[in-house]
Chain A
Amino acid sequence: MATRTYLQTLTDPLIRQNPVTLQILGLCSALAVTTSLAVALTMSAALTAVLVLSAGPISLIRRHIPDSIRLIVQIIIVASMVIVIDQILQAYFFELSQSLSVFVSLITTNCLVLGRTEGFARHNPPFRALVDAFGNGLGYSLILILMGSLREVFGAGKLLGFQVLPTVDQGGWFTPLNLMLLAPAAFFMLGLIVWAIRSILPEQVEPLDHAPPNAERLVD
């Protein structure tokens, strides 16, 4: 850990240590807010901002957080940042905040945020903690943006609201796949992304918890 450069701290969470696809954290929001790219982008920006803003103060006071109340101290800092970000969204990006509804406030309970503050910011100096938080934010954003664009293109034929595939309704050839806009499609897509990444990087594959009962038979 100590030998990692800042660049590695920043780039590791993008694919190799991606919080969504490797650690499978922050799924609820990743599934819910990726129906269109604009919403996914806002959510990514909000989560990255919360991550970075809470990693800073927690890392600054890390030597003075009593162990007995460390989780509550972290959560209260995260929750305050979430409220501030939510208020800013409601003030300046009203329509987007309407479509994100409760998911911005739910960033408080996003395991990704607490995972980074508890697992990293609490043990590292502020600058490194900020870089790590930003990297993890980017890793989360990467997956959200990928899913958001695919779902919007195939579900509505649009990208960021612009028509990229002419739909049948408008006299084109593309029939929108409504399934893409529903939650199951997000599950399928996330599964496929995780599968693809783990095929390329086999070290990410987790060992089986239990051997299937008829494993020996299979070997025969």
Chain B
Amino acid sequence: MADLNPVSAWRRFLALPNESRTKTLVIAFLVSTACALLVSGATVILRPIQTANRAAEQQARLEGLIAGIPGMATLLAEEGGTLSTVVIDLDTGHAAQDVTPDNLPTALEDAANWTKLDPAKDLAGIGRRPDYAQVYLLRDTEGDISVAVLPIAGAGYNGPIDAILALQGDMNTVAGLAITGQSETPGLGARIEEVAWLRQFPGRKIADAADRVRISVVQGEASNEFEVEGITGATRTSNAMSNILRFWAGPDGYGPFFDAVRRGEF
């Protein structure tokens, strides 16, 4: 007759020889369950704090980027140190009607607010692009835009690369670039985060007089105002950066927004 008392069943289980198949399986199962509970518990409980940390870091990098642009510190002082935040519609380039910075995350949870990209056009390798983007505008005393700060993203060699591109008021001169997230190879591709490399960007031009996007990261020395020298030994990451910049500066990226700014809409 089977003994259904769980306590004595547990005792009989523990008394099994360690090499028995039942005991091996049950121990493996119990240990994995306990560990799984521990790990998922820790992850779930600590996630809100970690997300806040990452957001704070992104904010700090944004401030670092803006503070690093020449003349920006004085400008910020004149401005009272504030940036205006605008959500733009990437398809039209206009300011978004119903989406605000507060409800942008909710809006982006809806798949209808994303555009699937044709592989031929998808230089940055992102697959689909959000229809709305939050940009930061810095204005001078006359109210004209002196700097626009634009988040960009794309596929790197090992994983996604997130960056922030700052453009001067003409929407054609790079004021600065900051990498906010990447998982490239340490010592090679990961050097895109280094100030020494990023320092090349200020002053570079995005497009030529015929409005063709010309900015690129090249192997070897940069030979004109559109080119930035790549990282030796990190060809794929350099190419990825090049494509990410070209995509976001192009018609499927912030192109319509640049036109809108030039028309004086903002």
Contact = CB atoms under 8 A, between A and B. Distances in A.
Given A66-B19, A90-B53, A73 B27 contact: yes
Contacts of B42: 83-84, 87-88
A25 interface: no
24 contacts: A64-B18, A64-B27, A66-B18, A66-B20, A66-B24, A66-B27, A68-B24, A69-B24, A73-B27, A73-B31, A76-B32, A76-B35, A79-B35, A83-B39, A83-B42, A84-B42, A87-B43, A87-B46, A87-B50, A90-B46, A91-B46, A91-B53, A94-B50, A94-B57
A91 B50 contact: yes
Contacts of A79: 35
Interface of B: 14, 18-20, 23-24, 27-28, 31-32, 35, 38-39, 42-43, 46, 49-50, 53, 57, 186
Contact of A90 (B19, B28, B39, B50): B50
Q: Is the interface of B mostly helix, strand, loop or mixed?
A: helix
Contacts of A68: 19, 24
Given A68-B19, A87-B43, 20 more contacts: A64-B14, A64-B27, A66-B18, A66-B23, A66-B24, A68-B24, A69-B27, A73-B31, A76-B31, A76-B32, A76-B35, A84-B42, A87-B50, A88-B42, A90-B46, A90-B50, A91-B53, A92-B49, A94-B57, A101-B186
A216 interface: no
Interface majority SS (helix, strand, loop, mixed), chain A:
helix
Contact of B49 (A61, A66, A91): A91
Contact of A67 (B18, B28, B35): B18
B19 A67 contact: yes
Interface residues of A, number: 23
Contacts of B39: 80, 83-84
Nearest to A78: B35
A170 to B, nearest CB: 20
Interface string A80-113: 1001100110111010000001000000000000
Contact of A64 (B23, B32, B38, B57): B23
Nearest to A102: B186
A63 B19 CA distance: 11
A65 interface: yes
B82 to A, nearest CB: 26
Interface in A33-83: 61, 63-69, 72-73, 76-77, 79-80, 83
Contacts of B19: 66-68
Contacts of B24: 66, 68-69
A33 B258 CA distance: 45
B110 to A, nearest CB: 29
A91 B39 CA distance: 14
